[in-house]
Structure 1
Amino acid sequence: MVKSEEVIEELKKIVKQKGLKYTEQREIVLNVLLHADDHLTAEEIYNLIKTKRPDSNIGIATVYRALGFLEEVNLITSIAFGADGKKYESNTKDHHDHLICTNCGKIVEFMDDEIEKRQDRIAKKNKFRITSHSMQIYGICASCQ
């Protein structure tokens, strides 16, 4: 697993390469996701910042802008929930796929070597070189059934 300091340094490097001003707000949003155990909505991130960093004076619009930027530069990823918006996570975890409850929004991360091998075989058979992939399986969790 990548250390959060390394990811913050990567953020600083990306911002410099793009000729942008480094902002503490982006770092704060990224840090929330680097230390989160769950996938979080923008509102949940905003509420965590307000609780843990009340001095930061970050508004919800700033959180949305920071999330958009961080996703654009591939430091975080999101899962879309239609009208319910997105849930975010950092890109520092090892590869995994998701089971998503369409009723309550619960997300279960999983890794299955057989699925990974099968994807590789399918790609090879079709003369594809996989550069990345994401699997999201939607259904109803045990609590909602």
Structure 2
Amino acid sequence: MKKYKESLKTILDRLHLSIRKNNLKNSKQREFILKAIYEDGGHLSPEDIFAIIKKTYKNTSISSIYRILSFLEKEGFVNSLEVDKTGKRYEIASGLHHDHIICVECGKIEEFCNEEIENLQIEVANSHNSKLVGHDMLLYVVCKDCLKRQK
């Protein structure tokens, strides 16, 4: 399982504050969705989340999943990643910056951090008399497993 900056309990406590702030009704679905993403530690599609949630929360619908994910992203609980034409994938907004390597064959997503790349991006922004305030890096590859299968 992936290590996060915050515990699931802390994230759920923040969720309850956000729900009150937005004058929303308490909904276990929001909690179930965050828990599913947190515990998976990966990059789940709305359909993946629906399949997980459906096991314990029988009355859920895929449209509810999309609506809740939109809210969770807007409120900073999850980040979305658009890896291909199949749609977004979601991960916990951990606060720890990382970039992604995506296999174009099997769709596997791996996270990486590289200090040298981070420093180069700051240098590029500075060379354009700008201040870097954020970035998303997606590297599209054919992973080692897919390369083996191709041979």
Q: TM-score range by the shorter chain?
A: 0.7 to 0.9
Say what the alpha-carbon RMSD is for the aligned residues.
Answer: 1.7
Q: Secondary structure at the match of 1:35?
A: helix
TM-superposed deviation, 1:96: 0.8
Question: Partners in 2 of 1:139 and 1:132 — Cα distance?
Answer: 23
TM-score (norm. length: structure 2):
0.84
Task: Name 1:49's counterpart in structure 2.
Answer: 53
Task: Name 1:116's counterpart in structure 2.
Answer: 118
Work out whether residues 34 and 92 of structure 1, in 8 Å CA contact, stay in contact via their aligned partners in 2. Answer: no
Question: Partners in 2 of 1:122 and 1:11 — Cα distance?
Answer: 37
Give CA deviations for 1:59-112 in whole Å, capped at 9, x if unaligned.
Answer: 222111111111122211111144311211101262110011122111011110
Question: Partners in 1 of 2:133 and 2:24 — Cα distance?
Answer: 28
* 1:21 correspondence with 2:25: yes
Q: What stretches of structure 1 move > 3 A for 4+ residues in a row?
A: none
TM-score (norm. length: structure 1):
0.88
1:20-39 aligned at under 5 Å gives the runs 20-39=24-43
Question: Partners in 2 of 1:15 and 1:85 — Cα distance?
Answer: 26
Give CA deviations for 1:11-37 in whole Å, capped at 9, x if unaligned.
Answer: 222222222223211111011111112
Moved more, 30-39 or 56-65: 56-65
| Identity in percent | 34
TM-superposed deviation, 1:127: 2.8
**5+ residue gaps in structure 2?**
none
Change (3 A) 1:10 1:56: farther
How many residues of Structure 1 are paired with residues of Structure 2 in the alignment?
A: 143
TM-superposed deviation, 1:129: 2.5
Find 2:134's aligned residue among 129, 132, 135: 132
**5+ residue gaps in structure 1?**
none
Q: Secondary structure at the match of 2:81?
A: strand
